[in-house]
Structure 1
Amino acid sequence: MSAPLPDLRLYLVTDRAMTAAYGLVPTVLDAVAGGVGIVQLRDPEADDDELVRIGRELHAALAGRVPLLVNDRVHLVEAIGAEGAHIGQHDLPADQARQVLGPDRLLGLSVQTVAHVEAARELGPGVVDYIGIGPVWDTATKPDAARAGGPAHTAAVAAASPWPSVAIGGINLARVPSLRHTGIDGISVVSAICCAPEPRRAAEELLAAWTR
């Protein structure tokens, strides 16, 4: 493992459009105050310069309270000052991403199948730090997402993984209980917090439902 893993129980992936009314930074800070342990900056609409600007502002506001990871664009992690990156199956290969990041930053990898886990294991130790499994349920947040697998499939993928894991995709407060016994280490959400009128309260309720 490259760096000590943060608290994965509640993982926030940002969406600037969803937070437009309240603001990205205030939403994230409220969510962290409510129990979010790790934040992933995702903004496919922003160009590199804009993402660096947004990332620096967010990283400064977080002030080290929780790690900030950059979605996909591993080459911007250094410029933002982020603690790592999260990549998908169609992004830069994990071993190449690790070379860019160096040994001391976090690297997460999205997987959908046991075969994806096995392929990542073949890269050897020290490449991937944790995995994101999903989508569990259909989600409008990512239109090109893979087919939803459901909790049972999530459990099978988690069981095959040597790394800690979080589940993502269509997770809301009502669905959290069905994931507590799947072997994952936490839940990752977008709209459940980014669309909430009170992000802190939403985070508190999600974390309570997970840890209950």
Structure 2
Amino acid sequence: MPGGVVLLTDRRAARGDLVGVVAGAVAGGVRWVVLREKDLLREERRALADELQPILAEAGGNLIVAGPDPLLAIPVPAAGRPLVALHLSAADPYPPPEADLVGRSCHDEGELSRLTTEDYVTLSPVFPTRSKPGYGPPLRPVGLARLIRLSPLPALALGGIEIPAQVRACVQAGAVGVAVLGAIMRSPDPQQTAAELTSAFEAAPTATVEEDR
């Protein structure tokens, strides 16, 4: 199950080569990466997945593919086949396609009520975000905690999470992880930024749903 700091890719925001940025983030402690880049042709996207998956596998991590296409040409590691993991938008098919792990983006109570066989959700936007400025209003930690109480599944916080204090606030609201894009993609040192955010996650006091009621 995804947890900790989860990296979402955006090659246009990356300050360097996307594969290098992901490698730096993995060196800094990231163990889950969501491959977005939906504007690429399928073969280009699959080739990118083929580059990223071994980087994660070597560190004991996993690649999640955004969208219903699992890009099954991902190489099989020596230890066995990779996890087939998908992350779906709120508009992607219901019920989800079969996979080892399926996540879904949700933004409100109505979308949470539509969940079927998914394994986890992302809740967003928690804070104002440069990546998707039209989404909102931001939930803020209080709104995030409310949706986590309503969610039938473990939840990752997403949107505008850039500094350790925001990571801590999301954990205290009940999130099992934080999904981060810009803070790492735009960082001049992805490894250091990932390490700082990961340390903040690991050190943050947790809050159970019951405690938050």
Q: If the TM-score is normalised by the length of the shorter chain, which range does it land in?
A: 0.7 to 0.9
The alignment yields a C-alpha RMSD, in angstroms, of 1.8
Identical-residue share of aligned pairs (%): 31
Match for residue 11 of structure 2 among 7, 16, 29: 16
- Please show how residues 93-112 of structure 1 align to structure 2 within 5 Å: 93=94, 95=95, 97-99=96-98, 101=99, 105-112=100-107
Deviation at 1:191, TM superposition (A): 0.7
**Residue in structure 2 matching 1:44, options 5, 20, 38:** 38
Distance 1:189 1:69 in 2: 14
Q: Secondary structure at the match of 2:104?
A: strand
Q: Distance in 2 between matches of 1:40 and 1:195?
A: 16
Kindly indicate whether the alpha-carbon contact (under 8 Å) linking 2:103 and 2:118 is maintained by their aligned counterparts in 1.
yes
Q: Distance in 1 between matches of 2:161 and 2:55?
A: 26
Counterpart Cα distance in 2 of 1:35 and 1:63: 13
Map 1:114-125 → 2, pairs under 5 A? 114-120=109-115, 123=116
Shift of 1:210: 2.1
Give 1:84's aligned residue.
Answer: 85
Deviates more, 1:51-60 or 1:164-173: 51-60
Letter in 2 for 1:30: G
- 1:162 Cα deviation after fit: 2.6
8 A Cα contact 2:144 2:173, kept in partner:
yes
CA distance in 2, matches of 1:18, 1:38: 19
Q: What's the CA shift for 1:45?
A: 2.3
- Give yes or no for contact 2:31–2:56 (8 Å, CA) kept in 1: no
C-alpha offsets along residues 52-95 of structure 1, whole Å, 9 cap, x if unaligned?
Answer: 111111113333521101111x22432336631101111222x1
3-state secondary structure, aligned to 1:25: helix
Gaps of 5+ in 1: none
- Assess if the C-alpha contact under 8 Å between 1:52 and 1:76 holds in 2: no
Which of 42, 51, 60 aligns to 2:54? It is 60
The reply to whether residue 28 of structure 1 matches residue 22 of structure 2 is yes
Give distance in 2, aligned partners of 1:18 and 1:40.
15
**Structure 2: 5+ residue runs without aligned partners?**
76-82, 204-213
Tell me the TM-score normalised to structure 1 length.
0.84
Moved over 6 A (4+): none
Q: Per-residue displacement from partner, 1:180-207 (whole Å, max 9, x unpaired)?
A: 3101111110011111111111011111
Report the CA distance between 1:144 and its aligned residue: 5.2
**Is 1:165–2:152 an aligned residue pair?**
no
Q: Which residue does 1:75 correspond to in 2?
A: 69
Report the structure, 1 or 2, having the larger helix content: 1
Matched with 1:194 is 185
